[in-house]
Structure 1
Amino acid sequence: MMIDNNATKVITGKVRLSYVHVFQPQSIDGGEEKYSTSILIPKEDEETLRKIKTAIEAAKELGKSQWGGKIPANLKLPLRDGDEERPDDEAYAGHYFINASSKTKPGIAKPIGKTPDGKTKFEEITDSTEVYSGCYARVSINFYPFNKNGNRGIAVGLNNIVKVQDGEPLGGRARLEDEFAEIEFDDVLEDDDDFLQ
């Protein structure tokens, strides 16, 4: 069976992002700095899950050449069950999740309309507060085999992110606009012109 890059690439349906480090690379556990995010896939999104499972199988076939011609029994797989692995985190309830990363910065954009020929137009997102843990996106990812220090498995590369919707921020920090929306600031705005200078 011939495996190409298209066989191991997936564009997800609407997913939620967590542990978002897509504007600045981060080192995890002292490793190499990478751009990364955790991708939460609703369990009812059967189409995205089917595409992911098919891509993982294709990546396993690719991996045979670096795993001695066969698929190891103890292969580390990227698709994990949020209900089982994160039972105390309600954001992960009812979701599968995968962790995707890249050495190069992913493309980050939002849809802004259609071109005359009916294709979607995008605008790059450069404001790092606009894509955060808790927002919703569609993500382009690819699956590939690895064999490193005795660990063998399938990893997930992060390609591009299109933000499609805001969501409740994860991680306990409220948005400034939400926290102060009900508080009156008229006294500061009216009689303290010097403060605003």
Structure 2
Amino acid sequence: MYQNDALKCLTGEVRLSYANLCTPRANNPGEDPKYSVTLLIPKTDIATKADLDASIEAAAQDGMQRLWNGVRPPMMRTPIHDGDGVKENGEPYGEECRGHWVLNASSKQKPDVVHSSNLNVQLSPGDVYSGMYARVTIRFFAYASSGNRGVGCGLGNVMKIREGEPLSGKSSALNDFKGLEQPIQPMPPQYIQPTQTQQPQTYQTQVQQPQVDPITGAPIGNMLGL
């Protein structure tokens, strides 16, 4: 029971898979698009598993009263599965599901996705991915549709706790280059060579002295009639 709601749970730390938390997606053509996520709940988290079982049972009791005419379905479907087993189609779950309970949750309403360090700010789509670790609120409900009776799981809100290895198959830069970090080398101080100030060139004009006749003392040029 969470916040006095027997149908609602707050998980412990879980890993997210198939996280469609920022953009709704339709699983099949013609279906309404929904926000959805698969929660990988460690089997070692006994407290969370007990809360899930209690809320699923509360949803089943509600279904018997409102939808199932007081009869509990002998093969009641639930949204939680054994990650060490196989899917409904007989295929085994992925390696990331080993040692976990697998729970699918969805909603037509966009969930709030925040970080544990700041609950007032929505995370950007780039910070939300399959493989990260979070705590999630979910709420179980009974249904009767097309002859099927069971308990489904509605998605509430998501609080990211820490990073994790992405499950998209794309490696992160952190993993690709871990151990190769290099500190930024400071640039050496730049010295500017002072330029030499060029001294202005001076030119001396030589005045040619006229030749003088040693006897008369008169300029030779004048004697020649120049």
Bin of the TM-score, shorter chain as denominator length = 0.7 to 0.9
SS of the aligned residue for 2:6 comes to helix
State how far apart, in whole Å, the 2-side matches of 1:5 and 1:97 are.
Answer: 25
| 1:53 paired to 2:50 | no
State how far apart, in whole Å, the 2-side matches of 1:18 and 1:129 are.
Answer: 15
Matches within 5 A, 1:88-167: 89-112=94-117, 122-167=119-164
TM-align CA RMSD = 2.1
After the TM superposition, which of the residue ranges 83-92 and 165-174 deviates more from structure 2?
83-92
Deviation at 1:124, TM superposition (A): 2.3
State how far apart, in whole Å, the 2-side matches of 1:150 and 1:88 are.
Answer: 27
Deviation at 1:177, TM superposition (A): 4.9
Deviations 1:112-145 (A, max 9, x none): 2xxxxxxxx5242331121210000000000000
Give 1:159's aligned amino acid: G
Matches within 5 A, 1:73-88: 73-85=74-86, 87=92
State how far apart, in whole Å, the 1-side matches of 2:157 and 2:119 are.
Answer: 12
State how far apart, in whole Å, the 1-side matches of 2:78 and 2:94 are.
Answer: 21
State how far apart, in whole Å, the 2-side matches of 1:45 and 1:126 are.
Answer: 26
State how far apart, in whole Å, the 2-side matches of 1:178 and 1:63 are.
Answer: 47
- CA gap of 1:6–1:132, structure 2 versus 1, over 3 A, is same
State how far apart, in whole Å, the 1-side matches of 2:115 and 2:103 are.
Answer: 22
State how far apart, in whole Å, the 1-side matches of 2:96 and 2:28 are.
Answer: 23
Deviation at 1:90, TM superposition (A): 1.2
- CA gap of 1:11–1:183, structure 2 versus 1, over 3 A, is closer
Deviations 1:60-115 (A, max 9, x none): 00101211211111211111000102645110000001100000000111122xxx
- Structure 1 or 2: more helix by fraction: 1
4+ runs deviating over 3 angstroms = 176-184
State how far apart, in whole Å, the 2-side matches of 1:160 and 1:66 are.
Answer: 27
- Are 1:111 and 1:123, in contact at CA under 8 Å, matched by a contact in 2? no
Task: Name the counterpart of 2:193.
Answer: none
Deviations 1:136-189 (A, max 9, x none): 0000000000111111110000010000010000021112454467599xxxxx
* Structure 1 residue ranges without an equivalent (≥5): 113-120, 185-197
Larger radius of gyration: 2
Higher RCO (CA < 8 A, seq sep 6+): 1
- CA gap of 1:105–1:16, structure 2 versus 1, over 3 A, is same
- Structure 1 or 2: more strand by fraction: 1
- Are 2:40 and 2:100, in contact at CA under 8 Å, matched by a contact in 1? yes
After the TM superposition, which of the residue ranges 12-21 and 85-94 deviates more from structure 2?
85-94
State how far apart, in whole Å, the 2-side matches of 1:22 and 1:56 are.
Answer: 23
